[in-house]
Amino acid sequence: MERDETAQEAQEEIDRRDSLLEQFNHTVGKRYSTCSLESFEDCGDVHKQAVLRGITEYASNLPEEVTAGRGVILFGPVGTGKDHLLVALARIAIEQYGIDVMWRDCLDVFSEIRDRINEQLDQAPVIRQLISLGRRFACAEWHFTETVLQR
C-alpha cells in the first residue's frame, strides 16, 4: 500500500511539473521552444562563454539560490541570448526542481499598462503585481554577470 502511495505521489509530481512546463512554454511562445543551455551558441565569444558558465553554475545550485532569494539579471544588446539563457534556466527550474516560474517581459508589462490606460481600465492589478514582486525581491541578493553580453 505504501509503495502505491509513493508511486502515486511521484506521478502527481511529474504531472504537476509537466503542467507547469506546458504553461511556461505557452507563455514564452514558439520562438523559445528549443532554448536550453546546451543549445546556446556562444560563437566563440569569451563574454558569452563566461555568462553561460555563470548561468550553468547558478542552475546547478538552483534550489539553494532560490531559497536564499538570489536571482539572475542579464543585460546587454538585443540578440545576444539573454532571453535564451533565462528561458533555459526557467526550464531547468521547472523540469528538475518543480519550481513554479513566472515569465513577464518588461515590454509586455508596459504595453499592458498602456493598453489599460487607453481603454480606461484600472491599471491597479498590473501595478499591484509589480509591487508584490518588488517587495518579494527587495531584500534578495542578485547575481549580476561580470560581463555584459555583447553582440
Most confident of 30-34, 77-81, 146-150: 30-34
pLDDT for 141 beyond 50: no
According to the model, what pLDDT value does residue 121 have?
A: 77
Say what angle helices 106-118 and 124-138 make with each other, to 10 degrees.
150
Give the model confidence (pLDDT) of 74-116 as tens digits.
Answer: 877 888 898 899 999 999 999 999 988 878 777 777 787 788 7
71-73 and 142-144 as β-strands: parallel, antiparallel, unpaired? parallel
What does each C-alpha distance from 127 to 3, 28, 104 come to in angstroms?
A: 47, 21, 13
pTM of this prediction exceeds 0.85 = no
According to the model, what pLDDT value does residue 111 have?
A: 81
Residue 16 in grid coordinates: 504537476
According to the model, what pLDDT value does residue 25 have?
A: 92
Q: Which residues, 6 or more positions from 78, have their beta carbon under 8 angstroms from its beta carbon?
A: 151
Say which residue, 119 or 104, is predicted with more confidence. 119
Question: What is the distance between the alpha carbons of residues 89 and 84, in angstroms, rounded to a whole number?
Answer: 9
Give the model confidence (pLDDT) of 38-82 as tens digits.
Answer: 999 988 989 899 999 999 999 999 999 888 878 787 877 888 898
CB atoms within 10 A of CB 74: 20
Question: What is the distance between the alpha carbons of residues 35 and 29, in angstroms, rounded to a whole number?
Answer: 11
According to the model, what pLDDT value does residue 140 have?
A: 37
